Amino acid sequence: MANHKSALKRIRNSEVKRLRNRYQHKTTRNAIKKLLETSTKKDAEKLFPGVVSMIDKLAKKNVIHDNKAANLKSNMAKHVAAL
């Protein structure tokens, strides 16, 4: 267990950040699944900008790697274009 007040605070902060990152990451993954499951181009084009924004935010906060974000966006763009 931590002995310093600052270390205890760091543990508290880390836990809050971890839970927030987990929630946002899971929400984004669900949005991606929803987009990939859509069968109409109109619906997919409507969802696409929001999902891309979510992915960019995760990459900016280092929850996911920049290259992974680029790969996800590329795959989704291909899917939307193919509909």
Instruction: Give the model's confidence band at 10: pLDDT under 50 very low, under 70 low, under 90 confident, else very high.
Output: very high
pLDDT (tens digit per residue) in 22-67: 999 999 999 999 999 999 999 999 999 999 999 999 999 999 999 9
User: DSSP letter at 4?
Assistant: S
Chain position carrying tokens 């966006």? 73
d(CA 8, CA 20): 19
Instruction: Give the pLDDT band (50/70/90) at residue 3.
Output: confident
Signed CA dihedral, 66, 69, 70, 71: sign only: positive
Supply angle C-alpha 49, 80, 68, rounded to 5: 65
From the list 34, 28, 13, 15, the residue with the least C-alpha distance to 58 is: 28
